[in-house]
Amino acid sequence: MQNILFRADSSSIIGTGHIMRDLVLAEQFKGANIIFAAQDLAGNINHKVQEKNYTLEILKSNEIDELIEIIKKYAIDMIVIDHYGIDYDFEKALKEATGITTFVLDDTYEKHHCDILLNHNIYADSSRYENLVPENCELRCGADYTLLREEFRLEKTKKRTLNQEMKNILIAMGGADHSNLNIEILKVLEKFSNIHANVVTTIANQYLNELQEYVKDKENIITLHINTNEMATLINKANLAIITPSVTANEVFYMNTPLIAIKTASNQDEMYKYLEKHGYLCVDNFNTVDLTSNIKILLDKEIVELVNFIELSLEEKKRVLEWRNQPSIRQWMFNQEEISLTSHLNYIDSLPLKNDRSYFLVKQNTHEIGVIDFTNIDYKHKKTEFGIYSNPALKGVGKLLMEAIIDYAFNTLKVITLISEVFEDNIPAIKLYNRYLFKNMDRKKVNNKYVLCMELKNENR
């Protein structure tokens, strides 16, 4: 049996994320003898280790000699270090003194002396560890290694049904909420009607009494969740999640829930930059003006309706044809000829007999913003191709249309793979697809022009 030691701390200052993700990681070492070494800091969640029936050693300090004694006591084969207070020099000295396998978790591209390095965040890039770890170090980086509790994988299999009349807003500012932002965010939400807030926190929150006092007599609009085991469900039922760009972002991203990220610490920089780059709304320094604006954008954005071409009025059918025949739109289509009204109407009339394609007019708050379509729908192999074009009178609606495509493809059609074939010089479209993590799979020639074949897997979105 392998003896594995986890070295991590939690407190009202440090937060609870290190211990929580280490508990997930520990489950991957089936049959191993798991021991945790942690300090007894104010606001810690060491009880979570004991609830899992793991051995817990309480440290008096973060000194290397004390840790070496525990390694000897349990004849440790591998140590897992998840601690910002343990650096390269500490790791190197520990390796020289014990010779054990060293497994390090890192979030911020620091220099490490280790055999295995795990950066499980969605933004992680293994190439950035060049010259930061030994040459023979095994790198485990990115979404393929994200540490998720089983509850998230189970919850994602369930159909996501959102309450549009009373919208659920999840607030998760870390188990400790060291910046004391929960109440400030709740005050911002009071400006909006028909909202119910679910606030997630833990007993590590030094401001918990203040928070409990604030939500008293507000049970109809605020629910306080302390040490909850229902995080996956709360995220899945949320119309919007307001979070820190931390480990929680990995979970919200996995559940595909709209989010606003508020940075509260420098170790969140990498996640913040990744989310901002991929079009998520982010707040660098908390202020009520930016948060109010971002909440309004996301709540308004959710009122999106897909109207099947079969159900369109004659005027609406004419309008989408007019858009499609615009030179700025048809130049990006394989068939770049203008389509006559008769052909257009006949094609729509034929759609009820075709189960391998669907076309939709997309509306936001009753405003017509564009068209999306799904063709070559392959239910057996769970894949579909898609098309997209916006109302030529509008700008900035590509993100809305893309999110409508992704939602319908994965949640309604239940496909696994979403495919696009796009002309290589259609730079705006390619940038949009890259933003949503589409990958280039092939390159071919159509009509004497090069076409990129791009795809998005449900598991990678």
DSSP 271-285: HHHHHHHTT-EEESS
Contact 215, 197 (CB under 8 A): no
Tokens 């933003």, residue? 435
d(CA 83, CA 133): 16
Identify any residues that bridge with 281 across adjacent strands, giving them in sequence order: 260
Query: In the structure, what pLDDT confidence band is assigned to residue 365 with cuts at 50, 70 and 90?
Result: low
8-state DSSP, 321: H
Q: Would you mind telling me the total number of residues written for the chain in this entry?
A: 461
Burial 423-453 (b: 16+ CB within 10 A, else e): beebeebbebbeebebeeeeeeeeeeeebbe
* Model pLDDT, residue 175: 86
The string of DSSP codes covering 165-230 is: SSEEEEEE--SS-TT--HHHHHHHHTTSSSEEEEEEE-TT-TTHHHHHHHHTT-TTTEEEEES-S-
Residue 116 contacts residue 137 (beta carbons within 8 Å): yes
Check whether 395 has a pLDDT greater than 90: no
Q: Which helix (H) or strand (E) holds 5?
A: strand 3-7
pLDDT band at 399 (very low <50, low <70, confident <90, very high): confident
Looking at residue 4, its amino acid is I
What's the whole-model pTM score? 0.66
How much is the pLDDT for 301?
62
Per residue in 129-183, pLDDT (tens digit) is 999 999 999 999 998 899 999 999 999 888 777 776 788 999 999 988 889 999 9
Judge residue 82's burial from the number of C-beta atoms within 10 Å of its C-beta, 0-12 exposed, 13-18 middle, 19 or more buried.
buried
Task: Pick 157 or 121 by higher pLDDT.
Answer: 121
Question: Chain centroid to CA 222: how far?
Answer: 24
Domains along the chain with CATH numbers: 3-145 (3.40.50.11190), 151-301 (3.40.50.2000), 304-460 (3.40.630.30)
Query: pLDDT digit string (tens) for 311-359?
Result: 999 999 999 999 999 999 999 999 999 999 999 999 999 999 999 999 9
Per-residue pLDDT tens digits for 348-357: 999 999 999 9
Q: What is the dihedral of CA 103, 106, 111, 115, to 10 degrees?
A: 20
| Residue 178 known to be catalytic | no
DSSP secondary structure string for all residues of 408-444: IIIIIS--SEEEEEEETT-HHHHHHHHHTT-EEEEEE
CB 95 within 8 A of CB 102: yes
**Hunting for tokens 């972002």 — which residue is that?**
249
> What is the chain's mean pLDDT, rounded?
93
Tokens of 381: 């192999």
pLDDT at 232 over 60: yes
Place of tokens 């052909």: 343
Instruction: Read off the tokens for 101.
Output: 């396998």
Q: What is the mean pLDDT of residues 295-299?
A: 83
Report residue 303's pLDDT band, with 50, 70 and 90 as the boundaries.
low
Mean pLDDT along residues 40-48: 95
Q: What is the pLDDT of residue 424?
A: 93
Contact present, 82 and 18 (Cβ < 8 Å): yes
CA nearest 20: which of 196, 136, 113, 148? 148
Task: Report whether pLDDT(279) > 80.
Answer: no
Q: Which of 18, 83, 120, 344 is catalytic?
A: 18
Instruction: Indicate whether 302 pLDDT > 60.
Output: no
